[in-house]
Amino acid sequence: MTDPLRVAMLGATGRMGRSIVALLAADASGVHLSGALATRSDPAIGQDAGSFAGSAPLAVVITDDPRRALAGANVAIDFTRADASLHNASLCRELGVSMVIGTTGHSDPQRAELEEVARGLAIVLAPNMSLGVNVLLRLAELAARALRPDQYDAEILEAHHRDKVDAPSGTALELGRAAARGRGVELQDVAEYGRQGSAAGSRARGGIGFSVIRGGDIVGDHRLIFAGPGETIELAHHAQDRSGFARGALAAARWVAGRPAGLYSMADVLGL
């Protein structure tokens, strides 16, 4: 009999953490929750992780000690914050625990630090874990390659709940990178993150624009528009709930366990 995959959930009391813990509680495919981490000030510390996530008890107590949460784990799934994910990645490398990072908002230096950690640890880093979004990213690159930037303007619109702290979202930025790859340019050279007043001037040819909405409990909406002469092409993904992201995170956890060190993406996981 194959030993069960033991997963530590880092950020267990957040929106995604609860969804993944609940999915693990119902999972019968040999994936078990082995530890659950929350921040030190979280009132859920000491509670049963399954009960807190709205599922059956799991006999896993939420802790604020990363080493305790990672004890016995094969893979850690991280949905925390950018700075915390760096600390967690370094600890996972020390303990030999593979990692899935769905945390977003990493700066360029922070991403470089994760790339360095990945020299000694298998990490799947993805701003969005859903199958649909990752297919969308591939379609975005193909569309951008076919639609000339001097004729088709690219605009990305995204919407999330009021408590999301990074903007644009990691998925929106990844959409921008996909479109930029299709056009053979770097996103940082063509991105337009804000327009206000007449001083903004007319739209630059070849630019990739971003618009951000924050409000209510919107799970996540992303839309890429190519506006050209006489026609508009739209690629969109709308998340009804977080279950798709949670299933994708578990698929990534299964895939990364036992992999050689390296920084992987959901495209690797899904064979795209």
Question: For residue 30, what are the CA distances in angstroms to 21, 27, 96, 160?
Answer: 14, 7, 20, 33
* Cα–Cα dist 230/138, whole Å: 25
CB 202 within 8 A of CB 149: no
In 3D, which of 29, 22, 102, 86 has the Cα closest to residue 54?
22
DSSP 8-state assignment for residue 169? -
The catalytic residue positions are: 160, 164
Q: Identify the structural domains of the chain with CATH numbers, from first to last.
A: 5-129+242-270 (3.40.50.720), 131-238 (3.30.360.10)
Return the amino acid letter for 153: D
Other beta carbons within 10 Å of 82 = 18
Instruction: State residue 272's pLDDT score.
Output: 79
What is the predicted pLDDT for the residue at 48?
Answer: 85
Residue 268: CB atoms within 10 Å: 16
Pairing of strands 62-63, 191-192: unpaired
Residue-level pLDDT at 1 = 40
In this structure, the number of other CB atoms found within 10 A of the CB of residue 145 comes to 13
User: Per-residue pLDDT for the chain (272 aa), expressed as one digit of tens each?
Assistant: 467 899 999 999 998 999 999 888 876 577 899 999 998 888 889 988 887 777 777 788 999 999 999 999 999 999 999 999 999 999 999 999 999 999 988 999 999 999 999 999 999 999 888 889 999 999 999 999 999 999 999 999 999 999 998 899 989 999 999 999 999 999 999 999 987 776 667 888 999 999 999 999 998 999 999 999 999 999 999 988 888 888 999 999 999 999 999 999 998 998 87
Look up residue 187 and give its two tokens. 């996103």
Q: Half-sphere exposure of 244 toward its Cβ, with a 13 Å CA cutoff? A: 13
